[in-house]
A and B are shown apart, each in its own frame.
Chain A
């Protein structure tokens, strides 16, 4: 396609039609890959070509405008080029305005960051178009701050909107920020609240980064909002969007950050430095060598015993209890906390006598000194108590889970401890050894303190992998030492009390209401307990109860809870023996199958869809397995 420079009254509308028709048929890439570079070159310095290009795009009929525009925005190598190519199209053409300011930002979310940069840069480059930038920012913030959007829209869309907001912020000038400072502040506060309320760490982090960026922009002097989160490539990428390399950037953000840090720094440290400067420099030690050294006459004694002093921990369990409940000596307290787990494990008989008391003390134990790994030490001691005397301690812990006046941390602790103890009990112990090797199940390891949702997924995946492939090549693994499954006798005690009272709200604890975070963790815990209950006697009863539980909660709005519910279904499909499943739970399973199919198609969260698909596959395998066996 080439244009002749000459004729004054050329009508370009024919070309526009052709362009539009080609684009709408999906051939944007081919035609624009040739057209756009040409036009970029031609319009670089020549105004006439620019005008012709504008005319070209303006004349594209309405119904094909979107396709053409999309293509241009995607293909343009930069915002300034896009500006040259499109001119003030967004002002003149209603359809273009809709596509560029609404559709591409709010209704679509598949575009790359470069495309967003092009689009928003284009809006910012011309004073006629800048009002659109502000309008776009306001609408984006409205979406970002709406709690229903945060709950229901897919995480990819939320990330897209966050990126768009950051890029808009980077383009704003001081004066513009001044004029809409109050609105920015209000939307930031609302948005931060919804984001921090979410159970998914990814969403929380997005909220934190955007809120920090907005705060940085509106408070150029004085303290800015600063959250604590883990930095990784994603956060660095997002933060880099705040800084524009083009000169139209309003306020450079990085020097401000440094100044803020210096201002907040400790004045006492610098004072201390100044004071030591007044003392004259250190006298070199060499000058005393000239004197006759009579120190050599003094022979040192053996000082190898001179080691760091360590407080001694008590040797008896009841002494430990005394120290933990009343002792003022913090060194002794710290030494006791460190020694507790091994003492519990070495004295099972004594532990059984005081198990519930110990469990109570440990549940309420607060950190007194700055001990490293305190939470882990406490958790290990709790697990030790629970495994040594499972039934009474499990009864105590599960009853406390539903009691008044516990913090969320304590309730979640109870759940974690139950899971870790269950895992330890269900693993075969090698005879004669007191140390339990937790890695006896290859590849599946519950690390205390790590994010449980990742582990459940890994566990389910591993189990599915091991079940759906038949590799029968004989003994490839060393036979592990076997012992009785200690979880068998106590599985019910761990499981049923947890599932009993979930729908009864207390004044400070409402699982079905505000405390959906704990509900999510509870559901995941039940999934693991179910999984570990394989080969126990109570597994069928547990499976039935669990399926009923899942059924009541299946439409929960929080996606972390839904993921947990789907893991529960996986666990029960894997643990309950197939015959029992098909005999006792046929109707429920069929209903569940229908529900799972629905989830696969309609759930906004990618992980939920994937888990539902796994479950459907497991059900299929189940049917096939039973069809193979002649009934």
Chain B
């Protein structure tokens, strides 16, 4: 007899606006507090203290424009946020400061979340959708120099890039980019040559989000249709479909694979969070707490496996925190 799904460990209220993005920063040693960053539609970034479950700081840097991406760069003192004001802001949060030290004007009016990758100490690559319709630009941070511009070939008709993921096989190897596009295809780009290595049509509808496991070179993409697509990369750097999983209701806004690669979570338009086993896509749980579309899911980076958390932000202004499958 299967147990009913667990309730959230706690629920964070107080954003007063739909939550579009979440990012944990819990890897620090004591006395560092585990922290969750959330970006909301009102343009505010809330820094939640996970010990007290209250907001520690509110960052306002995007002038009332919705924030749809937050990422930390190395520690929780360095934050990167992306908003609908076409700006990517870099924050310095050390020692109680809340200032924007730098910003990048993307000239892009879309919703594509940028992707960060640490390539060396203090050096980051950031991939973002750029001004031209189908292009992705990769910048080096903090210098903000352009590394390459990835343009699909003429007539490819991929549409806008919808989601990006920079990755490298191991530290020091070539960085690669996976991009999901409006026409439903996922493209693997080689950054040094600026060329597409492989393209795979995963969905009939736009790819809403994707996540990639660089160890197993296997990835998952969710779309506005009822199908989740799992694909893998073979030795020749070619993408191929591994499996598809049919869902009960259509629409996935976000997918996240847990850092230990055991489970993955999807955020659905049907207000539900679904948990799957990553190895074989075995459905594990359906968490039905929210009363509106779940916009984002994120796993924490706790050092202790038993403390690991899953957070989900929804249009109903709430962030639910779950502790699930932490025994392994």
Interface residue ranges, A against B (CB under 8 Å): 272, 275-276, 278-283, 285, 288, 291, 293-295, 297-303, 305-309
- B270 neighbours in A (Cβ, 8 Å): 309
Pick the residue among B4, B198, B201, B240 that contacts A301 (CB under 8 A).
Answer: B4
- State A96–B219 Cα separation when bound (angstroms): 84
**Chain B residue at minimal CB-CB distance from A302:** B2
- Check B238–A307 contact: CB distance below 8 A: no
**Chain A residue at minimal CB-CB distance from B236:** A280
- A294 neighbours in B (Cβ, 8 Å): 262, 279, 328
B277-300 interface with A by 8 A CB criterion: 277-280, 282-286, 288
- Check A301–B279 contact: CB distance below 8 A: no
Tell me if B249 is interfacial: C-beta within 8 Å of chain A. Answer: yes
Interface size for chain B: under 10, 10 to 19, 20 to 34, or 35 or more residues? 35 or more
- Check B241–A305 contact: CB distance below 8 A: no
- Check A303–B249 contact: CB distance below 8 A: no
User: Max chain B CB contacts within 10 Å: which of A278, A282, A297, A298?
Assistant: A298
Q: What does the 1/0 interface line of B1-20 toward A look like (CB < 8 Å)?
A: 11111100000000000000
Could you name 15 residue pairs across A and B whose Cβ atoms are closer than 8 Å? A279-B239, A279-B241, A282-B240, A283-B234, A295-B262, A295-B278, A295-B279, A297-B327, A298-B262, A299-B3, A300-B282, A302-B1, A302-B4, A303-B283, A309-B248
- B242 neighbours in A (Cβ, 8 Å): 282-283, 285
Interface residue ranges, B against A (CB under 8 Å): 1-6, 185, 198-201, 232, 234, 238-243, 248-249, 262-263, 270-272, 277-280, 282-286, 288, 325, 327-328
Pick the residue among A276, A280, A307 that contacts B201 (CB under 8 A).
Answer: A276
- Check A306–B201 contact: CB distance below 8 A: no
- State A302–B288 Cα separation when bound (angstroms): 12
Nearest CB of chain A from residue B323's CB, rounded to whole Å: 13
- Check A305–B263 contact: CB distance below 8 A: no
Pick the residue among B4, B6, B240, B285 that contacts A280 (CB under 8 A).
Answer: B240
* A300-B328 contact in complex given A272-B201, A279-B241, C-beta closer than 8 Å: no
- B248 neighbours in A (Cβ, 8 Å): 306-309
- State A306–B249 Cα separation when bound (angstroms): 9
- B325 neighbours in A (Cβ, 8 Å): 298
**Chain A residue at minimal CB-CB distance from B247:** A306
**Chain B residue at minimal CB-CB distance from A285:** B243
- A272 neighbours in B (Cβ, 8 Å): 201
- A275 neighbours in B (Cβ, 8 Å): 185, 199, 201
- State A297–B277 Cα separation when bound (angstroms): 10
Nearest CB of chain A from residue B72's CB, rounded to whole Å: 28
- Check B328–A282 contact: CB distance below 8 A: no
- Check B240–A293 contact: CB distance below 8 A: no
* A293-B241 contact in complex given A275-B201, A306-B272, C-beta closer than 8 Å: no
Nearest CB of chain A from residue B228's CB, rounded to whole Å: 14
- A305 neighbours in B (Cβ, 8 Å): 286, 288
- Check A279–B200 contact: CB distance below 8 A: yes
**Chain A residue at minimal CB-CB distance from B185:** A275
- Check A306–B239 contact: CB distance below 8 A: no
Pick the residue among A281, A302, A308, A309 that contacts B5 (CB under 8 A).
Answer: A302
Nearest CB of chain B from residue A273's CB, rounded to whole Å: 10
- Check A301–B277 contact: CB distance below 8 A: no
Nearest CB of chain B from residue A278's CB, rounded to whole Å: 8
